[in-house]
Chains A and B, each alone.
Chain A
Amino acid sequence: MVAKESKSSLKLFNRDSFPLFSFVILFILCLVLMGLDYRQQILKEIKSRLSITVSPIIYLINVPANIFITSKNNFISKIQLEDKIKNLEQTNYSLSISVQENKLIKAENKILRNKLKIEKDFNIVGINAEIILPKVKNGYSIITIDKGLKGNIKIGSGVINNTGLVGQIINVSNNYSEIMPITSDDYAVPAIMDSSKENIIVYGDGNGGLKIPLFPASSSISINDTFVTSGVGGSYPKGIKIARVVEIIPTKSPKFNFIVLAPFSQPTTFTQITVLTTKK
């Protein structure tokens, strides 16, 4: 069909004159804009100002998909719900025992800190918020939450939930903020393995997982080992759960292994998050 119809407008030689002057001017203009934006983050400022009008539109765009997911959840059978309740009751029971253990450890820790004269270093407070849009925006992952500058959210703050590290705030407007999830391929976080003292950097793989491209082969590591934040850099407090090891792949170099990790939290599995703020 295309073959038949396009022949009518095809021509043998193009004798149109090219607007070279306009092209050069616009080309330079675009390059200047890119340079300026890279240095001064103009786009973030524009997006923040436009978010009042753009965010509701994006929300409306995603309404059909959200309705579909909600209605799908509403049609879960009674047996499934009963199973879920049973599982939750069991989890609740084991958690209540863990809480008792934690209380004991906390008290013991307090006594030891007093004896050793160590100051409390976990000076973190958080702001609770709700995820309104976990989605992909023109090829990159983003999570939108319902709090912004008015809720004291700041760019660069870490975001956690009850399962672990969620991401980092990258864009803030008055009423909304955008989070780069830990699984985004632009994301990196200093981490430490909870069973050793190996400081490494964990990267998002852009495919719902995490990776460590060059993990020293000399360090012992096994499947299901847990990585937590190391606190290096000061963006995140130490000890927040990030991910567990799912695969160890040898690299071409015998000195390193490639580690594949599964994050503890995924943006599609929760709605509540906490944005970390440091106490002054």
Chain B
Amino acid sequence: MIKKTIMEKKRERALFIILFFISIIFSNLGIPGIENSNIMPNYFLALIISCLLNKNSFLNLYNLVIFGLIVDILCGQLLGQYGFLFISIYFVYFIIQKITTISNSKQLLFLGFCLFIFSFIALWATSLSHKIFIPFNLLFLQFVLTFITYLIFNIFITRFTKN
């Protein structure tokens, strides 16, 4: 197992908090010229999945619940929804890690893709609007935008945390 130095851990924590604030800012801004709220990327999902896949040492179950509650209070619709979502992602990620061998970045990318599908289903299942039928093209566009956000976060994290 690769142990991280205290400096690395501190850097990861700082980066996560900065990206979390950026996510809050962007989720309150909206995309200029696009009125449809359904296609806004989910910055928080992108952040959590990219940090988990990059093995951010700051992320543990308790921190995930705390950050989930912060997201709910600032931008959410139901208290506990994002906490539930984040720890579910953590759980699924851990189980996949236990039963599979992740040996290259393509597999890691595919794992991220699978986690996004899982998180979108979980988000839909816990949605307050109880909508069963969501226009597929809108959902697909939101998924694509969230995945792009994930890739951007991923670049930031690899650039600023890896030596």
Chain A interface (Cβ < 8 Å from any Cβ of B)? 1-3, 5-16, 18-19, 22-23, 26-27, 29-34, 36-38, 42-43, 46-47, 50, 54, 58, 61-62, 65, 135-141, 183-186, 206-208, 268
Contacts of A50 in B (CB 8 A): 73
CB of B84 within 8 A of CB of A207, answer no
CB of B87 within 8 A of CB of A37, answer no
CB of A65 within 8 A of CB of B29, answer yes
CB of B108 within 8 A of CB of A6, answer yes
Contacts of A26 in B (CB 8 A): 61-62, 65, 83, 87
Among A3, A30, A42, A206, contact of B84 (Cβ-Cβ < 8 Å):
A30
Contacts of B62 in A (CB 8 A): 22, 26
6 A-B pairs within 8 Å (CB atoms) are namely: A6-B105, A33-B79, A34-B79, A65-B29, A135-B28, A138-B75
Docked pose: A82 CA to B32 CA in angstroms = 28
Docked pose: A268 CA to B83 CA in angstroms = 33
Contacts of B138 in A (CB 8 A): 206-207
Docked pose: A81 CA to B52 CA in angstroms = 54
Interface of B is mostly: helix
CB of B27 within 8 A of CB of A137, answer yes
Number of cross-chain contacts by CB at 8 Å: 157
Docked pose: A36 CA to B81 CA in angstroms = 12
CB of A3 within 8 A of CB of B78, answer no
CB of B80 within 8 A of CB of A37, answer yes
Contacts of A23 in B (CB 8 A): 61, 87, 90-91
Among A5, A34, A183, A184, contact of B126 (Cβ-Cβ < 8 Å):
A34
Among B1, B38, B73, contact of A139 (Cβ-Cβ < 8 Å):
B38
CB closest residue in chain A, given B83: A30
Contacts A33-B83, A50-B73; A136 near B37 (Cβ below 8 A): yes
Contacts of B29 in A (CB 8 A): 61-62, 65, 135
Contacts of A12 in B (CB 8 A): 101, 103
Q: How near does chain A come to B108, taking the closest CB pair, in angstroms?
A: 6
Q: How near does chain B come to A268, taking the closest CB pair, in angstroms?
A: 8
Docked pose: A26 CA to B88 CA in angstroms = 10
Among B54, B84, B126, B128, contact of A27 (Cβ-Cβ < 8 Å):
B84
Docked pose: A138 CA to B123 CA in angstroms = 13
Contacts A30-B87, A135-B29; A206 near B36 (Cβ below 8 A): yes
Q: How near does chain A come to B101, taking the closest CB pair, in angstroms?
A: 6
Docked pose: A34 CA to B37 CA in angstroms = 23
Contacts of A207 in B (CB 8 A): 35-36, 38, 138
CB closest residue in chain A, given B23: A138
Among B37, B54, B90, contact of A140 (Cβ-Cβ < 8 Å):
B37
Q: How near does chain A come to B117, taking the closest CB pair, in angstroms?
A: 17
CB of A43 within 8 A of CB of B98, answer no
Name the residue among A13, A15, A138 with the largest chain B CB count within 10 angstroms. Answer: A138
Among A1, A22, A34, A54, contact of B78 (Cβ-Cβ < 8 Å):
A34
CB closest residue in chain B, given A25: B61
Contacts A2-B105, A2-B154; A43 near B78 (Cβ below 8 A): yes
B104 CB-CB contact with A under 8 Å: yes
CB of A138 within 8 A of CB of B105, answer no
- Interface of chain B residues 33 through 75 with chain A (CB within 8 A): 35-38, 40, 42, 44, 54-55, 60-62, 65, 68-69, 71-75
CB of A36 within 8 A of CB of B36, answer no
B102 CB-CB contact with A under 8 Å: yes
CB of B28 within 8 A of CB of A62, answer yes
CB of B75 within 8 A of CB of A137, answer yes
CB of A7 within 8 A of CB of B75, answer no
CB closest residue in chain B, given A59: B28
CB of A135 within 8 A of CB of B98, answer no
Contacts A1-B158, A9-B55, A139-B42; A208 near B35 (Cβ below 8 A): yes
CB of A5 within 8 A of CB of B37, answer no
Q: How near does chain B come to A67, taking the closest CB pair, in angstroms?
A: 13
CB of B105 within 8 A of CB of A7, answer yes
Q: How near does chain B come to A44, taking the closest CB pair, in angstroms?
A: 9
Contacts of B101 in A (CB 8 A): 12-13
